[in-house]
Amino acid sequence: MNFEEWSARYNPIPNHLDDNASFQDESGSGIMFETYGDELQYVLDIANTEPNRVWTYVDGDEGTWVTNGYHLVNRIGYFITAVPYDDKGGTEPFLDVQVDSYDEYDPDEDLHPAFDPVLKNEV
C-alpha cells in the first residue's frame, strides 16, 4: 500500500493545533502531528483511548514509512486517522506504508573533487 492508498483508506485527520503542519491533504490542511508539546499530548490522549487510530511516521533504512501504532524509535511525527486499523487483538503484523524511498548511494557518483584522490590535486 502506498501513502495515497493509505490516506484514502484510513482518512488522516487535519492537525487542528498547527496551521502550518506538514503533509498537506487535498484541502491544504496539514495532517502530521509533531513529537513534542501540545501536539504530542494530543496524540498521547488519542493513543490512550483509541490506540488503533494512531500511526507513526518513521525513518527507516530504505526510506520513510507510516506504521500503525504509537512508536518512539526513529519517529518523525504522528498521524491520527478517522478510520481505525484492525490489528486483530495484536495478532496482525504491522501495517507499513512506504512514503519515500532512499536511492542507493553510489560513493563514486558526484564525488566532490576535494574528496576524490585522483582529482584532489586539481582543486
pLDDT of residue 89: 59
Burial class (CB in 10 A: 0-12, 13-18, 19+), 91: exposed
pLDDT grade for 123, boundaries at 50, 70 and 90: very low
pLDDT of residue 104: 56
Q: Are 64 and 100 in contact (CB under 8 A)?
A: yes
- Please count the other Cβ atoms lying within 10 Å of the Cβ belonging to residue 25: 14
pLDDT, tens only, 12-26: 999 999 999 998 888
pLDDT, tens only, 26-51: 888 999 999 999 999 999 999 999 99
Q: Which of 106, 98, 95 is nearest to 2 (CA)?
A: 98
